[in-house]
Amino acid sequence: MRTRRIDPVNCSVARSLAVVGERWSLLIVREALDGARRFGEFHARLGIAKNLLTTRLDSLVAAGVLRRVPYQEPGSRQRFAYELTEQGEALRPTLVALLEWGDKYLPTPEGPSVIVRHRPADDEAACDEPVRVVLQCAAGHTHLHPEDICRTPGPGARFVDAP
């Protein structure tokens, strides 16, 4: 019997990337996390082509990352805004991880342009410290080294012959 591996196509990373792995999707989510809600805001902030923005917003809505909500400004007709669902909010760790990686390995001479801070809405407990993303195991161990981590098959694993 040949060596077998976990099938790499049957993987949540691949499924996630099918949803948010396109050129602009994560940048749209980033802007949404930063408060953008309206078509024109995304367009102006990102410089994305409008027709692409239309299709990206539609596909993110279809995937459940964004929600389309009507709004009406006084003196204007009803329009639609796009706001993050819980599922969209849940992409924050991914974006913080990418932010950290870029800060460390693709730095600009001036230093990072954005720092994510722990700043609760009720300022009483405001600690204001920078936020980082860390790998932590269920037993509470943190600062895991690469060699201390391994991928194991889960209940849904399928296997393929190793090449």
- Binding site partner of 64, from DNA, its own copies, none, Cβ cut-off 5-8 A by kind: its own copies
Which tokens go with 62? 């279809």
Give the Cα separation of 83 and 63 in Å (integer): 13
Give the Cα separation of 127 and 57 in Å (integer): 35
Q: Does 6 help bind DNA (rule: CB under 7 A)? A: no
Which tokens go with 97? 């991880």
- Binding site partner of 55, from its own copies, DNA, none, Cβ cut-off 5-8 A by kind: DNA
Q: Does 120 help bind its own copies (rule: CB under 8 A)? A: yes
30, 51, 61 from 46: Cα distances, Å? 10, 13, 18
Kindly tell me which residue out of 77, 104, 143, 145 binds DNA, with binding defined by CB under 7 A.
77
Kindly tell me which residue out of 1, 4, 47, 124 binds its own copies, with binding defined by CB under 8 A.
47
Which tokens go with 24? 């602009």
Length reported for the chain: 163
Name the one range near its own copies by CB under 8 A: 50-58, 66-74, 75-83, 110-118. Answer: 110-118
Quick one: 1 or 106, whose CB is closer to its own copies?
106
Residue 31 CB, shortest distance to its own copies, in Å, is 6
Residue 73 CB, shortest distance to DNA, in Å, is 8
Q: Is-contact 65 58, C-beta < 8 A? A: no
